[in-house]
Amino acid sequence: MRQYSPAEPLLQQRRGCVARGNLLERGPVIVLPDSLFTNTRYIILDASGSFSPQGNNPLKFFWTSLDSKAAIANPASATPNVWLNTGSGPWVFEVIVTDSRGNSSTKQITVRLTQGP
| Each residue's pLDDT tens digit, 84-117 | 987 888 999 999 999 999 999 999 999 999 975 5
How distant is the alpha carbon of residue 22 from its chain centre? 27
Strand partners, 113: 38
| Each residue's pLDDT tens digit, 31-90 | 999 999 999 999 999 999 999 999 999 999 999 999 888 999 999 999 999 999 878 889
pTM: 0.78
Domains and CATH numbers, the chain: 28-113 (2.60.40.10)
Please tell me the distance from the alpha carbon of residue 91 to that of residue 89, in angstroms, as a whole number.
5
